[in-house]
Chain A
Amino acid sequence: MIPESVFSVVLAPIGFVAIGAMLVLLGEVLLSRTKSFLGRPWNARLIGSVLAGVAMFSLLLALFVSSQWFATGDVQVFNPQHPLLQLDRFSALASVLIVLAALLSCALATYYLEAVGINHAEYYALLLLSTAGMLVLVSAIDFLSLFLGLELMSLPLYALAGFDRSRLSSNESALKYFLTGSFASALLLYGVALLYGAIGSTSFAALRAEFDPESTLALCGLGLVVVGFAIKLAAVPFHQWAPDVYEGAPSSVTAFLSVAVRAAGVFALLRVLGLGMTTGADAAIDSALASLAPVFAALAALSMIVGNLMMLIQNSVKRLLAYSGVAHAGYVLMGVAAGGSEAWAAVVFYLVVYTFMNIGAFAIVVSLAQRGRDSDRVAAFAGLARESPGRAALMTLFLLALAGFPVTAGFFAKFGVFSAAVNAGLAPLALLGVVMSVVSVYAYVRIPVLMYMHEKDEFVGRAAEAQSGERFVLLTCGVVVLALGVLPNGGTVFEFALGEQGFALWLPPVLDWSRDAVAALVP
């Protein structure tokens, strides 16, 4: 007999995504055996499009369920006897964000896979499985389910990184990612084992209740858990894998990898720490876990320094964005270190913004890929403004957002975490972040300078037209980055009446949503 809890709504988003993955796998096997369908001959491209449609449909269902759940604001626990997963506003918002990232990555991949010659439908299945893993990860309230989610997230990604199997660098990327990823998992698992030894339970609630800062065993365990997360986030000094993996993996995979893994990791980290927050909205993290704040501050400082400085000397856009990701992990960790619900709301907002601006930047890289090969040299951007002004303008927008210029969402995101750090008394850390941002401005602006102020490199072929999927992604990301750059907390932009009907252009209050999500963390 199946226990009732299996049908719990907690599993609904995860279930939709996982069932979608199965359908895609099954569909690939069935469709590729058929020679024609309704009189029309099948080819790999058609199969790919159909299965991409299936994948996106399942993601849309998951998106719908999670956003509905966020709207209701209820809390539901899976398996109440031994709570493993919890669906509340925090995990609902995290799920929405991750599913959105997966959706955008799917839309981005449809043409790109064909262009690079790796149009196999397993791609979507792996992407969906990894997404399912992330959804488990962000709703986990027990180290067991956390580890389960982490592995389910990572294993398909290792395969995705090596998806372009005829290319050596893709294989290298997969192997490197697999090795470091396994280390991360092993360290985390070891940490969990130590914590279990010290506390006698694997649930976050027990960790909160019984954590003893005097106990070396528990501290070692927590430290190892943090290291495991730091590797996933690519925070310095655990970042060495990121540039190589990002560069070697197919660009559409890198787009997903760079935002979703980081977002899921930070959300899970907040959940682990969050159960340590005392009741009361603005209380800082518990004394037990306050000892971790300097650790996060140190990770943040190192990440900001190394990430921003290394960005200066990169010749590959994907490596540049990899180090940019390291730097952004630093900014996020600064917010985590600041502690308190307002700071963490800023962190959540940062993740939302980062998702869109980074996927946008990668979408440009993807759309510039030429038939048969990736083109990610910085020099390939020379003179792009003349050739495709729209993409040049959008790339400039995304890079300015990453650099934190106003009128883009990146500014408010950075402003939020810096402000949180200053308010929490971490002003020197914020000052370091500010100084490093100056460095990053120089690094990011190299590309717009090439696009607008240099003539085209004659060895670079003409960029292909942007395809519909890519246009959709670019437009979505562009609109979000600009809209959140003016009104991060939404509101009515303008309204007018036409006859009886009133119309209003309304933007969502993303900042308030972030606050609501973090409010759900406080027990």
Chain B
Amino acid sequence: MLPELNTHLLSVVTFAPLATALLLLAINCAARLAGATLPVLVWRTFGLVASGLSFVLSLSLFTGFDLKEPSFQFVEHAAWLPSWGIDYFIGIDGISLFLVLLTTFLTPIVLVTSRHEVARSRSSWVFFVLCLETGLLGAFVSLNLFQLYFFWEALLVPIVFVIGVWGGPGRRRAAQKFLVFSALGSLPLLFAILVLASLPIAENGALLFNLVAPPGAGGAGLLDLPIAVDGPIWWQNQAWLFAAFALAFAIKLPLVPLHNWLPDALVEAPTGGSVLVAGVLLKLGGYGFLRFAVPLFPDATLAVAPLFLCLAVVGIVYGSLLAMVQTDLKRLVAYASLAHLGLAALGIFALNTSALNGAVLQLVNHGLVAGALFLLVEMLHRRRSTRLVSEFGGVAKPMPVLAACFGVVILSSVGLPGLSGFVGELLILVGAYLASPLSAVAATSGVLLLAAGAFWMFRRVMFGPIDNPENRGLIDLGLGERLVMLAFLLPIVGIGVYPEPLLRRIEPSVVELLRRVDSRTQTRAPSEPAPEHERTLVIPIDPSDEGEAL
């Protein structure tokens, strides 16, 4: 392989889609001046090639990942705006690796499957999806807070277009609601980042945005910087900074009182948009907590962890209950997402190795499951032009393959052993039990509710007599659709059967994260014994045990 590609692998993965999109746009403009238009086929082909290339290269991130290295790998560092302390600084660890993979995996699928649904401005659709992919990847790989914000805010624009231009009947309202909720979260984040960067200015007179010190360049990172717990200036205290970070991430996660935008956005977006929003965008919330909010502000995190555990449990139960009573399949999947991500939030704030491993796995699993479910719902919708549960019944007879895929995905989403959902859920619930038994019990009941709701829906749609004559002549999945489903089922079953390759990559980074949290905690006096839920952090679960236990 080219030597330059090896040193810039992560950059290529991140920017290949954007570069292709811009190139196609330039050619398109030139063609328009000449009075011609670039055929949609060219857009789609090159878009697919670019995102496919990104996926293939990201697989080599997976294989080339060093299992022994708990810190960041594939690091690239260059000056961007040195006078403002802004660097181009990217790298991944075990936590972001799988989110990057998830993004590069879902984007080509979105480009392939959206052919039928996206009826107009198809070339713009490809353009925005490619921009969105780079935005999401950029946010996942940034190790400079400024850069994180840059991507975080920039990716809102393509999403708003995806929802608002190609969405359903309520798309305009959903797009605006999404934008306002996101801006509400991200601008306080900007403020907090600015305050954080200005903290070391008294010492060396320069702003600091790097999360860790870039290798070879020396200096310090924000994670080496003590942040006051009870300082004299209120806006420099952990509590306020954490509040601003948490607001941004909790809106994306979403945690319960801030979830209002999610069902609208997911339901009104075109299927490709729903897949990317549910599959990847929501992961930014959980990822933001894991990478930034928790290690930067450990004291604040520990102080509010009980509250967030509580909110997470409320999210699980509330999402499950609402999913149960939905009449629209897409809305049902949207509320189920709320429950699943509540589970991930539970894992994050339980703050121990097993729970955090589970949370990362759950993020990945939810990306796969939600993506697959939205696509399956769209396959039904394309055939019947409706998504109402009551319109279906006995679909399994004319469409056995769809029913089988749907069944496997549903089972994974409710956590059947042997499928991807189980591993994450089990680890989270075990970890949550160590942190707070009550929350684990409540969460388990929520998961049971979700399972009940999902099975009930599945029974009503797939089994029973065919009441509606329109369902009798449904055509089963075509070859293309079967291949797409296969692409989802492989990792779903694979992770469920053999999660070790993932856990072995996630675990060291999680242990490193907990070590950081532990060493940066200021409020606990050294002599004082660690509280119950924290004592578990020093007992990392051995990856080999994990594999055997499962």
Query: Which residues of A does B touch, CB under 8 Å?
Result: 282, 390, 400, 405-407, 411, 415-416, 418-419, 422-423, 427-428, 430-431, 434-435, 437-438, 441-442, 445, 449, 452-454, 488-489, 511-512, 515
Contacts and interface: CB of A to CB of B under 8 A. Distances in A.
Contacts of B175: 449, 453
Given A419-B197, A427-B235, A449 B191 contact: no
Interface in B158-212: 160-161, 164-165, 171-172, 175-176, 179-180, 183-184, 187-188, 190-191, 194-195, 197-198, 201, 205, 207
B191 A406 contact: no
A488 B153 CA distance: 18
Contacts of B165: 452-453
Contacts of A434: 187-188, 190-191
Nearest to A346: B84
Contacts of B160: 445
B385 interface: no
Given A406-B149, A418-B190, A489 B83 contact: yes
A415 to B, nearest CB: 8
Given A423-B198, A423-B201, A400 B191 contact: no
Highest count of chain A CB atoms <10 Å: which of B150, B156, B161: B150
Given A442-B183, A488-B81, 15 more contacts: A405-B156, A407-B154, A411-B150, A423-B198, A423-B201, A427-B233, A427-B235, A428-B235, A430-B191, A431-B188, A438-B180, A442-B180, A449-B175, A453-B171, A489-B81
A418 B191 contact: yes
B17 to A, nearest CB: 15
A406 B84 CA distance: 16
Contacts of A407: 150, 154
Contacts of A445: 160, 176, 179
B157 interface: yes
B198 A419 contact: yes
Contacts of B84: 416, 419
Interface of B: 29, 81, 83-84, 146, 149-151, 153-154, 156-157, 160-161, 164-165, 171-172, 175-176, 179-180, 183-184, 187-188, 190-191, 194-195, 197-198, 201, 205, 207, 233, 235
B304 to A, nearest CB: 20
11 contacts: A405-B153, A416-B84, A418-B191, A422-B195, A427-B233, A437-B187, A441-B179, A442-B180, A442-B183, A445-B176, A511-B83
A489 to B, nearest CB: 6
Contacts of A435: 187-188
A427 B197 CA distance: 12
A438 B251 CA distance: 15
Given A438-B184, A441-B180, A427 B161 contact: no
B157 A400 contact: yes
A511 B81 contact: yes
Contact of B183 (A419, A441, A488, A489): A441
Contacts of B161: 452
A406 B153 contact: yes
A305 B306 CA distance: 36
Contacts of B233: 427
Nearest to B29: A390
Contacts of A405: 153-154, 156-157
A442 B176 CA distance: 8
A405 B180 CA distance: 13
A452 B164 contact: yes
A422 B172 contact: no
Contact of A449 (B151, B176, B205): B176
B88 to A, nearest CB: 11
A474 to B, nearest CB: 13
Contacts of B171: 453
Contact of B172 (A430, A442, A454): A454
Nearest to B155: A406
A431 B235 contact: yes
B129 to A, nearest CB: 16
Contacts of B207: 419, 423
A449 B172 contact: yes
Nearest to A424: B198
Contacts of A423: 198, 201, 207
Contacts of A441: 179-180, 183
A411 B176 CA distance: 20
Contact of A406 (B154, B184, B201): B154
Contacts of B149: 406
Contacts of A419: 84, 194, 197-198, 207
Contacts of B184: 438
A459 B90 CA distance: 51
Contacts of A422: 191, 194-195, 198
A430 B194 contact: yes
Contacts of A411: 150, 153
